[in-house]
A and B are shown apart, each in its own frame.
Chain A
Amino acid sequence: MAGRGRGRGRPSMSITTEQLGFAKGETLPPPVLQPPLKYPLLEYKPLPLNITTELSYLFELKKGYAEYLRESPNNVLPIVVKKDIERYSDRYQDLITDKSSYEIRYDWSRMPVELKRQLRKRKKQKLENPKKKQKHIDVESKLQELEKKESSQQSDVEEEEKEEEETEEKDDEQVEEEEEELDEEMDEGTDYANNYFDNGEGYDDEDDNLDDGPIY
């Protein structure tokens, strides 16, 4: 015992059980070995809620306000990715939703101009470089493709060239749309984004081509 040598009847422990409110000889509560409950039982139940007409009215106001704001253009909606198929109902959906951009709703004399969408002119200048790169890559990959297919068929290649020219034209149109979209397109130009996985869907098509092609 640590306190034995000191004499004078000092208690060996610094706190006696009596100090904590336990009588002598009373058994101490067992140690708690479990974590406390996530939802502890309530010793005192909360007061019942009495709903007055005033509170009901306040609640209606609150609900109405929240609903109005949610349905107003203040609720910024994410850009909806176009689905694979054009549906008949889409045409009417466009009429219902307000497609106008957010700029017309604000008085720009009192908002920072930086929050406007960027002007197109500036964008084009910026985006010239990536565009060139993209073309460059396209040519290389196209050449490779051409080499592969040269041996088999010539007429097909011509068709494909036409197709790719068409897609390029479309690309040019899209350039003006959005920065992010372009970024994604750029990604597609690199090998990393290419999907080499062949799910076999195109298998039949190639067969058809063979059949349709010229016979040597």
Chain B
Amino acid sequence: MSVMCRKLCSSILFEHFGQIVQCVAEDLFKHGARSLELIRYATDLPVTKVKEALCVLIKHGFVRYSRVERGLEFSLIYENVLLILRYPKYMFFIKTMCGDESEMILEEVLMNGYITASEVITKTYKKIEQSPSGRQPSVPVLKEKFELLVKNQFLTRSLCTDTVGGRTNEKPDFTLPNLNLTAIIKKIEGDNNSDPGDSKIYWKVNFDRLIQDLRDQIIVSAIRRRLDENAGELMRQLLFLMYLRTASWAHTSNPIPLTEIKEAVKKTSYPLLIHHLDQYLHLIEEDSSQFLKRVGDSGGGQFSVNMKEAFEQLAWATLENIVMERFGSKAARIFRLVRDKKYIEQEQIQQLAMIPAKEAKHLTYTLLQENYIQMQEMKKSGVSAAPIKTFFLFHIDLNVVVYMEVEHCYHALYNIMQRREYEVNSNKRMIDKQLRMQTLTTNLKEHGATEEQLAEIADLMTPSEKQQLEKVQNTIKKLGITELQIDDTLFLLTMYLRYH
């Protein structure tokens, strides 16, 4: 809950919901839970606008309210705001898992915060109809896709109690309502009186489930990159077996017997994996990443997936890479050495890292200054405090470094968003012009304009303008993609913090 985090949340909200919502949320971030009157007083906005903004925030799950003696108190859930950065990844994940229609359904739910099943189907139907791909939507298919999403627990019922603080969360409800398909079709055709049979049953995105899936993706791809495709598939199967017997956020899975692993692997289409299963299991188990642990010998062996350890290893690897890219490979060598030896003296560092004394000192002190390593003083008891009698031991406090790196991510994201906004604003005129031209050409094309007319419109923009526009759009795209990549790092580090 730092200043940077606040600024980042604030600019995310500004990008999506505009200034008033940003203003209200920032006030809530600064002061914690508070009442409507206080928000109004601090933000100096009209009451109706504050109320409207709060409604938007509540609907999207960014604000929860609780009833206190005098009216209501609102508080911001900033973690949920940061999730917006990851929405595209969720959509893409659903696209690969359940297909294009499911992706559109999820997108629709994300856009509305919570929504009824019939409404989401209606909206998606219209969207597909209007899309240039020319696909023909069908209500039964959409309903099927919706049910698929619910069955996989990507969507969950949105209950009234979700946003009310103080109460214990009830168990997520995944029961499907009986949808009246003919009524939905009628509604799409413009008949507003038909009742699809699910009024007041709202659905929202089950972020917990999606976060778990992204987490599993990280683990699988880590193994795949370390060993090979087959090992990755084995890890995927292991994670799947883990779901069957373990609570979702447990540190380690309950033991999985070898026989079950064999059976699960047999169903896959990886002949090499089936053949060399024992070797692959051994490889993953022996690997320094310690994702898998052998916990017993009965039944050919019992294995347990160690999530906590896995994310610690991944966090270490991330930090090593960061040090490498920021300070060079020699600094990374020192970083690894300190990590390896737990506590180490300066003298030993330069000897073991085989770096000349002066350079080693310079790099160590730089790392110390940038807070990537910590220093511990050890004084001999009973002797004067002269520095020569004191040992200076270097060590790494992983939690401290990870927290710092999370802050860096917030900072970088905020800076990038500011830059992107600046680029957009300073070239607003040109971007608007292009938009106008686009609508004009599409309009004219519909009315059957000649080639000459279209060329005339295209000539409205000078070549230099076109060049400039392309440059700006490239910059914006680059910045946007960088944001997505930084969020990857942020996600991994927050996963580490969640487990520790």
Among A21, A56, A180, find the residue whose CB has the most chain B CB atoms closer than 10 A: A21
How far is B14's CA from A70's CA once the two chains are assembled, in angstroms?
Answer: 9
B48 with A14: CB separation less than 8 A: no
B387 with A74: CB separation less than 8 A: no
Residues of B within 8 A of A68 (CB): 111
Once A110-B160, A117-B48 are accepted as A-B contacts, the answer to whether A76 and B111 lie under 8 Å apart by CB is no
Q: Which of the residues A55, A56, A75, A117 comes within 8 Å of B21, measured between beta carbons?
A: A75
Main secondary structure of the interface of B (DSSP, over half): helix
B18 — nearest CB in chain A belongs to which residue? A75
Q: A202 interface residue, CB < 8 Å from B?
A: no
B49 with A74: CB separation less than 8 A: no
How far is B357's CA from A57's CA once the two chains are assembled, in angstroms?
Answer: 49
Residues of A within 8 A of B55 (CB): 102, 106, 111, 115
Q: A163 interface residue, CB < 8 Å from B?
A: no
Contact with B along A92-115 (1 / 0, CB 8 A): 000000000010001101111011
Residues of B within 8 A of A9 (CB): none
B477 with A46: CB separation less than 8 A: no
B18 with A77: CB separation less than 8 A: yes
Contact with B along A62-75 (1 / 0, CB 8 A): 11011011101011
Q: Which of the residues B58, B361, B484 comes within 8 Å of A59, measured between beta carbons?
A: B484
A115 with B484: CB separation less than 8 A: no
A115 with B51: CB separation less than 8 A: yes
A178 with B20: CB separation less than 8 A: no
Q: B26 interface residue, CB < 8 Å from A?
A: no
How far is B480's CA from A62's CA once the two chains are assembled, in angstroms?
Answer: 8
Residues of B within 8 A of A61 (CB): 87-88, 91-92, 107
A76 with B49: CB separation less than 8 A: yes
B358 with A21: CB separation less than 8 A: yes
Q: Which of the residues B49, B56, B387 comes within 8 Å of A78, measured between beta carbons?
A: B49
Q: B31 interface residue, CB < 8 Å from A?
A: no
Residues of A within 8 A of B480 (CB): 59, 62-63
A54 with B48: CB separation less than 8 A: no
List CB contacts (< 8 Å) of B323-361 with chain A: 325-328, 357-358, 361
Residues of A within 8 A of B485 (CB): 49, 55
B20 with A76: CB separation less than 8 A: yes
Q: A20 interface residue, CB < 8 Å from B?
A: yes
A62 — nearest CB in chain B belongs to which residue? B88
Q: Which of the residues B49, B88, B326, B478 comes within 8 Å of A79, measured between beta carbons?
A: B49
B58 — nearest CB in chain A belongs to which residue? A111
Once A14-B388, A58-B92, A69-B16 are accepted as A-B contacts, the answer to whether A106 and B59 lie under 8 Å apart by CB is yes
How far is B484's CA from A49's CA once the two chains are assembled, in angstroms?
Answer: 12
B346 — nearest CB in chain A belongs to which residue? A19
Q: Please report the number of residue pairs spanning A and B whose Cβ atoms sit closer than 8 angstroms.
A: 127
Once A21-B357, A76-B17, A106-B59 are accepted as A-B contacts, the answer to whether A65 and B46 lie under 8 Å apart by CB is no
Q: B275 interface residue, CB < 8 Å from A?
A: no
Q: Which of the residues A49, A66, A74 comes within 8 Å of B478, measured between beta carbons?
A: A49
Q: A44 interface residue, CB < 8 Å from B?
A: yes
A22 — nearest CB in chain B belongs to which residue? B358
B18 with A44: CB separation less than 8 A: no
Q: B440 interface residue, CB < 8 Å from A?
A: no
Residues of B within 8 A of A15 (CB): 387
Once A20-B361, A178-B48, A180-B46 are accepted as A-B contacts, the answer to whether A69 and B484 lie under 8 Å apart by CB is no
Contact with A along B466-500 (1 / 0, CB 8 A): 00000000000110111111000000000000000
A66 with B477: CB separation less than 8 A: no
Among A44, A66, A107, A115, find the residue whose CB has the most chain B CB atoms closer than 10 A: A115
How far is B59's CA from A15's CA once the two chains are assembled, in angstroms?
Answer: 63
CB distance from B193 to the nearest CB of A (A): 18
How far is B321's CA from A44's CA once the two chains are assembled, in angstroms?
Answer: 13
Q: B362 interface residue, CB < 8 Å from A?
A: yes
Q: Which of the residues A21, A43, A46, A72 comes within 8 Å of B111, measured between beta carbons?
A: A72
Residues of B within 8 A of A102 (CB): 51-52, 55
How far is B16's CA from A78's CA once the two chains are assembled, in angstroms?
Answer: 15
Once A61-B91, A61-B92, A65-B111 are accepted as A-B contacts, the answer to whether A114 and B18 lie under 8 Å apart by CB is no
Residues of A within 8 A of B202 (CB): 107, 110
Q: B190 interface residue, CB < 8 Å from A?
A: no
Residues of A within 8 A of B92 (CB): 54, 57-58, 61
A59 with B481: CB separation less than 8 A: yes
Residues of B within 8 A of A59 (CB): 88, 477, 480-481, 484
B17 with A179: CB separation less than 8 A: no
Contact with B along A24-36 (1 / 0, CB 8 A): 0000000000000
| B contact residues vs A (CB 8 Å cutoff) | 15-21, 36, 46-49, 51-56, 58-60, 65, 71-72, 87-89, 91-92, 107, 110-111, 160, 200, 202, 325-328, 357-358, 361-362, 386-388, 477-478, 480-485
Interface contacts beyond A65-B88, A72-B111: sample of 4 additional A-B pairs, CB < 8 Å, sorted by A? A15-B387, A21-B361, A56-B477, A62-B483
**List of 10 A-B pairs having minimum Cβ-Cβ separation, nearest first:** A21-B358, A61-B88, A75-B18, A76-B20, A62-B88, A69-B16, A58-B88, A110-B160, A21-B361, A102-B52
